[in-house]
Amino acid sequence: MKVEGRIFFLVAVFSVIVAGIYAYMTGTMTRDGVEPVGVVALILTGGLAFLAGSYLQFVARRIEPRPEDREDAEISDGAGELGFFSPGSYWPIGLAAAAALTGVALAFFHIWLLIIALGLVIIAIGGLVFEYHTGPNHD
């Protein structure tokens, strides 16, 4: 996770530097002065990247080094099972459709459609989470 943290820190530094350049360029090349929305967006992008990088560095100190973090690691060190991934689930499609319907409802600000869409999102999330849950009484 150290590598990912460093990448986020680089993005944070880049965003802050570009924010300074953007503020200077818009301040000197336009008659309206510094464009505040772009500067704030770039600074917040840098802050968010710094937040993610800090979290990854914090987690990297608490876990043992992964093969990606070691200089002497071989390719075979990363081999093996990575986890369980559902081979044929239709719930992600339903979740995507419900999220798209939620976006349409927000775009047109139809409260009735937003309530229905959020209900569908909750149902799809529940189906995705509990897809392989068999319950305590299952043999």
The CA–CA distances, whole Å, from 43 to 1, 39, 57, 112 equal 24, 6, 21, 37
Predicted TM-score (pTM) of this structure:
0.61
Alpha-carbon distance 53 to 50, whole Å? 5
C-beta separation of 131 from 89 below 8 A: yes
On average, the pLDDT of the chain sits at 92
What does each C-alpha distance from 60 to 10, 12, 127 come to in angstroms?
A: 17, 19, 32
Q: What is the pLDDT of residues 54-94, one digit of tens each?
A: 999 999 999 888 887 788 888 888 888 877 777 888 999 99
Which of 108, 131, 106 has its CA nearest to residue 118? 106
